Amino acid sequence: DAKTTQPNSMESNEEEPVHLPCNHSTISGTDYIHWYRQLPSQGPEYVIHGLTSNVNNRMASLAIAEDRKSSTLILHRATLRDAAVYYCILRVGGTSYGKLTFGQGTILTVHP
Amino acid sequence: DAGVIQSPRHEVTEMGQEVTLRCKPISGHNSLFWYRQTMMRGLELLIYFNNNVPIDDSGMPEDRFSAKMPNASFSTLKIQPSEPRDSAVYFCASSPFSGSTDTQYFGPGTRLTVL
């Protein structure tokens, strides 16, 4: 499986934008980029995913580099509730069932 | 919808005892996953079912672990006999279909402590 590299931790202030980077230099053409997050004492929850184009939803935006070797999850206005571990995951496309392989993720701390 | 339901939420048992964890997926979802989370190893996929059939059990650690899905609304993960190193949080997740674009919905987890 192609691997991802994320910073161990990041900090932000409440109501400021947060940019969470992810490197995936060995990504293949059919791999989808997924982001999940895990709030304290909860199961992971889906945030967003994309293939080539930038994506927006109610939770966040995903900016994908033109060569697809990196991506950035953007939280436009961080709240205290956004403090969580954020996982960047590559999922194999095609006929595969797209196994989710979690790495260590980025621990996001949001300061009031 | 109530989401993925797991029971019990906490389980404390003694080494050598049998442990059964239960999961009710979201109605209509045809894929079910069991994960284990520890500080040392992070989140690991144990087994994946599609339409009640085990498809990928390569993550099941050893013969002490077994999982079943007798119908679309129920799955169990059994550990027999349990060992202290099995202490972890076990998550069940379900998804509407299996593929690289589906969303997995996770339950709240079962925290297992084996003394």
Contact A60, A49 (CB under 8 A): no
Chain B residues within 8 A of A91 when measuring between CB atoms: 100-101
Shortest distance, CA A63 to any CA of chain B (angstroms): 17
Q: Which amino acid is at B104?
A: Q
Question: Looking at residue A53, what is its pLDDT?
Answer: 92
Contact assignment for B42 to A100 by CB distance below 8 Å: no
pLDDT digit string (tens) for chain A, length 112 residues = 668 999 999 999 999 999 999 999 999 888 999 999 999 999 999 999 999 999 999 999 999 999 999 999 999 999 999 999 999 999 887 666 778 889 999 999 999 9
pLDDT beyond 90 at B12: yes
pLDDT beyond 70 at B79: yes
Shortest distance, CA B32 to any CA of chain A (angstroms): 12
Start-to-end Cα distance in chain A: 38
Chain A residues within 8 A of B50 when measuring between CB atoms: 97
Contact assignment for B108 to A102 by CB distance below 8 Å: no
Of B93, B99, B109, the CB nearest to A98: B99
Question: Looking at residue B2, what is its pLDDT?
Answer: 84
Contact assignment for A42 to B93 by CB distance below 8 Å: no
Chain B residues within 8 A of A96 when measuring between CB atoms: 100
Contact assignment for B91 to A45 by CB distance below 8 Å: no
Q: In the numeric block, which tokens belong to residue A51?
A: 């293939």
Burial class (CB in 10 A: 0-12, 13-18, 19+), A59: middle
Contact assignment for B45 to A49 by CB distance below 8 Å: no
* Mean pLDDT confidence for B21-46: 96
Q: CB A95: neighbour CB atoms within 10 A?
A: 9
Task: List the A55-56 sheet strands across, edge first.
Answer: A18-23, A70-75, A61-64, A55-56
Contact assignment for A99 to B99 by CB distance below 8 Å: no
